[in-house]
């Protein structure tokens, strides 16, 4: 049996972009991923398709799995010859009980490595516009657990020293003990007027920051029903937030945006939305899978020399076509002499990165514009191959045939409706906690409407801003009773993201 190994990985504070490169590499090669409540689930997307994913989260005293059980599980999987990625929020050695887990793993003779993470103690204040040290304010900072009850018999925290001996104090997970923390600081000499910031869900689009002073923060937290998880910062550096609050000033900060793209394509869109401060919620209404049969596509690939034009209308079409090309013992060299048309720049890029030159990309990224351009290039009598989705619109092949072209339409892939997350999205829509729904193709619109009850659907989306990638998608939405509020001039994901940001900026 091969020897197993454990990687204790810091998942960062929440923003999936803040995990380290080494952390991602370890997740990618793991056979088992054991993850906590504060580890962003998006990071599981880096795991292998056959990796075992095990949730062992702890949330406000509600333990899915006890610490001894977690230790036992990690060791059991590693001793079974598995590569284990133990994914922990923040940094594993910063109040993450990573030291305890490492001790237990080492005691059983299991090989392990620690992959440090970006701790929330530093990153969350930074996202709230609070530098923990500043040359003109303080050069000292202390990180303190907020879980310890200061009123217990023998506290592990020396309040008499930290209250006045350290400039900036950062308490992790201290909201439940906030009253005791505040009273201990004041009783030991800290000025009651010292600024305090509570930062909930830091580094995410739902980040919420509450600012007060030691003598007001407890009452403010009660009034606002401020709940964990949160980081507490005490010190004069909090005053800098008024000038340095960069994250919460982004145009889409606090906006929850539904991304309906297929799971394997959603991350690009989510990343762009996150750059504008939004909280993307991936709810794929389509899943891209192979067609029922590749026979027609394989036959076309076998007779590739017969074609004058190859038309590719999506990135998925490119990927599935090239995969079948290779399966048939061919490669891109067999495209020599065939003119290639793509519906837009993103599809073109997918081919160009392989060194394939594109002959025609229409100015408008839609089927009708392809036909107009091909007619100008003389397609009468030309043999055309169109590999595409199984259920795509018929307008493109119909117009090509009307213009004298001979087109073979073959299924390269098909789309189906996944139902994961349906109830969560329905609940958020009912609670008016969704700001934008985005549609990037006609199939995403159709599938989205079909997922929910027809009678309830109009009330669910009432007041929600609708973003469509282009006129064809917007037309499909209109036919289904959905009016588009945002549509970019260029029918691409980056342009749609920018249009959404512009809409809310104005």
Does residue 173 have an active-site annotation? yes
Q: Which of 63, 124, 126 is nearest to 97 (CA)?
A: 63
**Nearest Cα residue to 92 out of 204, 12, 16:** 12
| DSSP assignment of 444-478 | HHHHHHHHS-TTTHHHHSTT-EEEESSHHHHHHHH
Catalytic residue among 22, 29, 58, 323: 58
Q: Which residues pair with 7 in a beta bridge?
A: 85, 113
Helix 98-107 vs helix 67-79: crossing angle, to nearest 10:
40
Whether 62 is catalytic is no
How long is the chain? Answer: 506
Rounded Cα distance, 259 and 456, in Å: 21
Decide if 407 contacts 397 (C-beta within 8 A): yes
Side by side, which strands form the sheet with 383-389?
287-289, 406-416, 383-389, 309-312, 339-342
The closest alpha carbon to 335, from 297, 368, 305, 314, belongs to 305
Residue 9 in tokens: 């990985």
Active-site residue among 36, 91, 414, 435? 36
Pick the catalytic residue from 31, 77, 88, 173. 173
CB 233 within 8 A of CB 412: no
Q: Give catalytic residues, as residue numbers.
A: 36, 58, 173
């Amino acid at each position: 049996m091969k020897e197993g190994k454990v990687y204790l990985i810091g998942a960062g504070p929440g923003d999936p972009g803040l995990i380290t490169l080494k952390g991602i590499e370890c997740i990618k090669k793991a056979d088992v991923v054991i993850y906590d409540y504060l580890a962003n689930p998006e990071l599981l997307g880096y795991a292998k398709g056959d990796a075992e994913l095990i949730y062992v989260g702890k949330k406000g005293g509600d333990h899915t799995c006890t610490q001894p059980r977690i230790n036992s599980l990690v060791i059991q999987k590693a001793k079974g010859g598995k590569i284990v990625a133990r994914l922990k929020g923040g940094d594993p050695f910063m109040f993450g009980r990573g030291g305890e887990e490492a001790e237990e793993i080492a005691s059983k003779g299991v090989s392990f490595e620690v992959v440090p993470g970006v701790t929330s103690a530093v990153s969350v204040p930074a996202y709230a516009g609070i530098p923990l040290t500043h040359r003109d304010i303080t050069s000292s900072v202390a990180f303190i657990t907020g879980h310890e009850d200061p009123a217990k018999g023998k506290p592990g925290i020396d309040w008499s020293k930290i209250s006045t001996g350290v400039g900036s104090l950062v308490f992790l997970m201290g909201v439940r003990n906030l009253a005791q923390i505040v009273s201990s600081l004041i009783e030991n000499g800290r000025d009651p007027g010292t600024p305090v910031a509570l930062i909930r869900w830091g580094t995410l689009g739902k980040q919420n920051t509450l600012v007060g002073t030691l003598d007001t923060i407890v009452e403010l937290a009660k009034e606002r029903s401020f709940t964990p998880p949160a980081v507490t910062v005490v010190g004069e550096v909090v005053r800098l937030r008024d000038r340095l609050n960069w994250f919460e000033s982004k145009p889409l900060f606090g906006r929850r945006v539904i991304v309906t793209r297929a799971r394997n394509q959603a991350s690009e869109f989510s990343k762009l939305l996150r750059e504008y401060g939004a909280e993307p919620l991936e709810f794929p209404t389509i899943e891209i899978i192979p067609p029922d049969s590749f026979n027609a596509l394989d036959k076309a690939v076998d007779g590739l020399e017969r074609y004058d034009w190859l038309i590719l209308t999506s990135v998925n079409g490119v990927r599935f076509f090239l995969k079948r090309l290779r399966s048939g013992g061919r490669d891109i060299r067999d495209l020599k002499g065939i003119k290639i048309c793509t519906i837009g720049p993103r599809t073109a890029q997918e081919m160009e990165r392989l060194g394939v030159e594109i002959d025609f990309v229409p100015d408008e990224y839609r089927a009708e514009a392809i036909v107009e351009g091909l007619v100008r290039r003389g397609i009468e009598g030309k043999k055309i191959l169109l590999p595409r989705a199984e259920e795509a619109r018929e307008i493109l092949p119909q117009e090509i045939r009307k213009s004298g072209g001979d087109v073979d339409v073959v299924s390269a892939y098909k789309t189906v409706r996944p139902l994961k997350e349906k109830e969560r999205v329905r609940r958020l829509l009912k609670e008016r906690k969704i700001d934008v729904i985005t549609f990037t193709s006609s199939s995403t619109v159709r599938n989205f409407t079909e997922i929910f009850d027809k009678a309830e659907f109009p009330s669910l989306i009432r007041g929600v801003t609708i973003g469509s990638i282009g006129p064809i998608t917007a037309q499909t939405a209109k036919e289904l009773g959905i009016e588009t509020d945002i549509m970019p001039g260029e029918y691409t994901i980056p342009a749609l993201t920018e249009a959404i940001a512009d809409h809310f900026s104005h």
